[in-house]
Amino acid sequence: MSDRVVLAYSGGLDTSVAIGWIAEQTGSEVVAVAVDLGQGGEDLETIRERALACGAVDAVVADAREEFAQEYCLPALQANALYMDRYPLVSALSRPVIVKHLAEAAKYHGATTVAHGCTGKGNDQVRFEVGIGALAPDLKVLAPVRDFAWTREKAIVWAQERDLPIDVDKKSPYSVDQNVWGRAVETGFLEDIWNAPIEEVYSYTCDPAEPRDADELVITFDRGVPVAIDGETVTVLQAIQELNRRAGAQGVGRLDMVEDRLVGIKSREIYEAPGAIALITAHQELESVTVERDLARFKRQVEQRWGELVYDGLWFSPLKDALDAFIEQTQQHVTGEVRVVLHGGRAVVSGRRSEESLYDFNLATYDEGDSFDQSLAKGFVQLWGLPSKIAAKRDLNK
């Protein structure tokens, strides 16, 4: 049997052309692997048939939406993961899922190599190849677009010469990557960072400036997991999908940012993540009620590092595994309900309640029923400020 190459297959021009190109250049058989992460568009069977028509000896199609939501989006939610305090890791979260399915397919089909369609300027090449190295270190990696300087024009000529069953005439001015956690848009006129995005860039969200009534909902969490919306039980995937719909209708989750790529360049990205932003907003608020102060302070440091690791392609790493264990421990009391108002492009918390709450009304109130012993505060303040006071006296005497 010939050597086999497992290709991460999207169904688009580049990866469709890659099937025949890899076969011709290496003499290997190509197995295409397509993974549904809730990106919409064509159904899996259509993609599978296209891969076979383009020359793949086999095509593996996997519906990984539930897996993606439960095993990748949920940990990101519990980590309140926002790279550079803004980006909810839309693309970064999806790559390790695809890598996992590539490694499994390579083992099943006896492949020696995996291939991807990433360029040399982005983060995804790192995420794919470092992930493969962690899960299947004996596999080789092939990256035709990066390593052989492919252009779209070359790919079109290749497809036309071989009469491949793909549309090579339509070209979007943007590069789009999307899944159930969100949508990322770049290139085209957006590369001039002075240019404002136009409405046609967006798909998951409506214009937040359009007048409309606010939408109020209640999200129920159990140990950091969203389990109900307005009292209706949901899975994690259903929670994300429902909030994509309702928060997206209010224009929530639009981001326009210049981010620091791992390869060392800055890149302008437009993101839409209505469900992710609404869920993270609610989850953060419930944590503020149920997580002890010092634990919460330290968790915020962990959240930042967790997000950086995932963004940098280190999902399968010892540090990421250790931080996962810490974050899981922090969620044991994150149970309760959060009321959120969606309106005008914002998700605003208007109420929170929990049987695990650390908020004590009688300690917090300034009205009758106050149980806080204010007489204790004078000595506390004096002792708390004593080191600074002693240092100030020393410095004034110099």
The residues annotated as belonging to the active site are 14, 95, 124, 175
Q: Is 11 annotated as a binding residue?
A: yes
Round to whole Å and give the CA distance between 218 and 90.
24
Q: Is 312 annotated as a binding residue?
A: no
Q: Is 253 annotated as a binding residue?
A: no
Q: Is 202 annotated as a binding residue?
A: no
Q: Is 16 annotated as a binding residue?
A: yes
Q: Is 335 annotated as a binding residue?
A: no
Q: Is 26 annotated as a binding residue?
A: no
Round to whole Å and give the CA distance between 192 and 173.
13
Q: What is the dihedral of CA 245, 247, 251, 252, to 10 degrees?
A: -140
Round to whole Å and give the CA distance between 244 and 276.
8
Round to whole Å and give the CA distance between 372 and 379.
15
Q: Is 175 annotated as a binding residue?
A: yes
Q: Is 174 annotated as a binding residue?
A: no
Round to whole Å and give the CA distance between 325 and 332.
12
Q: Is 388 annotated as a binding residue?
A: no
Q: Is 8 annotated as a binding residue?
A: yes
Q: Is 117 annotated as a binding residue?
A: yes
Known binding-site positions for L-citrulline: 87, 123, 127, 175, 259, 271
Known binding-site positions: 8-16, 87, 117, 119, 123-124, 127, 175, 259, 271
